[in-house]
Amino acid sequence: MITIRPAQERGVANFGWLDSRHTFSFGNYYDPAHMGFADLRVINEDKVTPGQGFGTHGHRDMEIISYVLEGALEHKDSIGTGSVIRPGDVQRMSAGTGIMHSEFNASNADPVHFLQIWILPERKGIEPGYEQKTFSTEEKQGKLRLVGSRDGRDGSITIHQDVNLYATALKAGDTVEHTLASDRVVWVQVARGAVQLNDRPLSAGDGAAITQENLITLQGASDDAEVLLFDMAA
C-alpha cells in the first residue's frame, strides 16, 4: 500500500525569516491524522533568509538529522560542537538527556534550504552526541546510498533507532529498487525534482508511506531528483 502525503497539504509556518513546511504535526500545526510514521516524527522543509536562524533552544530524547539542499547551515551546541553543514552533508544530533543548540544561516547573502528530521530514539536517556559525514553526489547518483543506520555501517552516520536512511540522486530515466522485509515499512520523501514511485508520480515536497509492499521502484522523472528513503521497523 502506498499513501501519498502531497506537498501542498503540509502544515505551513512563515515568520518572514523562516518559511517552513511540516510533513507531520509540529509547533502550531496540529493534525491528528499526521503525527508521524513508525519512528519518524518530524520532516520539516525549512528555508531561512541570510543571516537569520534559530536561537539557542533545547531538545531531549530525539534523534535530529539535518540534510542541507542549498546554502550553508551553521550549528553550535552545548556539548562543544560547532560546524557548518553544506549540501552533501548529513548531520545527526542525539538530544538524549538534554542538549541546547542553535542553527543559523551561515551566509549573509544567500538563503539556506534544508530538511530537519526527527526520529524517536530506541530508548530515553541516551548521552547527547553529534556526528556529521559527507556523501558526494557520485555516491548517490543512480543508487541508494546508505547515509544513516543503527550500526553506522558502510560509512553511514549512526542513528539510535532501527532505521536505515538512504539518499539517492536520479536523472530522468535512472531507476533504483528497494526490497522491503515483511516486518518493515518505508517512508519516501522527495527533496527536489520529480520521480515515479512504482506507478505514482511524486515531486519536490511530496512524501509517501509504504506498507505491505515487497518491492518499490523509484525512477527519475527530472534530471535533478533527490530522494530520501527511510526503511524502518513496522
- Give domain limits for the chain: 10-135, 138-233
Q: What would the mean pLDDT of 172-178 be, rounded to a whole number?
A: 97
Residue 215 has pLDDT above 90, yes or no: yes
- Please report the pLDDT score of residue 166 as a whole number: 98
Dump pLDDT digits (tens) for 75-116: 887 777 778 999 999 999 898 998 887 888 989 999 999 999
User: Distances in Å between the alpha carbon of 151 and those of 125, 135, 158, 191?
Assistant: 19, 17, 6, 25
Least confident of 96-100, 166-170, 203-207: 96-100
Q: What would the mean pLDDT of 16-22 be, rounded to a whole number?
A: 95
Least confident of 49-58, 67-76, 160-169: 49-58
Q: Provide the H-helix boundaries in the chain.
A: 137-140
Average pLDDT, the chain: 94
- Please report the pLDDT score of residue 81 as a whole number: 78
Q: What would the mean pLDDT of 56-65 be, rounded to a whole number?
A: 88
**Confidence class for position 198, pLDDT limits 50, 70, 90:** very high
Q: What would the mean pLDDT of 6-34 be, rounded to a whole number?
A: 96
- Strand runs labelled E in 78-214: 82-85, 89-94, 99-105, 112-119, 129-134, 145-149, 157-158, 163-170, 175-179, 184-192, 194-197, 200-203, 207-210
Q: What would the mean pLDDT of 8-17 be, rounded to a whole number?
A: 95
Q: What would the mean pLDDT of 136-145 be, rounded to a whole number?
A: 96
3-class DSSP state for residue 151?
coil
Q: What would the mean pLDDT of 42-68 be, rounded to a whole number?
A: 91
**Domains 10-135 and 138-233 agree in fold:** yes
- Please report the pLDDT score of residue 57 as a whole number: 79
Please state the CATH superfamily assignment of the domain spanning residues 138-233 in this structure.
Jelly Rolls (2.60.120.10)
- Please report the pLDDT score of residue 123 as a whole number: 94
Question: What percentage of the chain carries pLDDT values higher than 90?
Answer: 85
User: Which residue is listed with cell 511540516?
Assistant: 22
User: Distances in Å between the alpha carbon of 103 and those of 48, 100, 120, 165, 209?
Assistant: 10, 11, 21, 23, 29
What's the CATH class of domain 10-135?
mainly beta
- Please report the pLDDT score of residue 77 as a whole number: 77
**Confidence class for position 34, pLDDT limits 50, 70, 90:** very high
**Model confidence, pTM:** 0.96
- Please report the pLDDT score of residue 200 as a whole number: 96
- Please report the pLDDT score of residue 76 as a whole number: 80
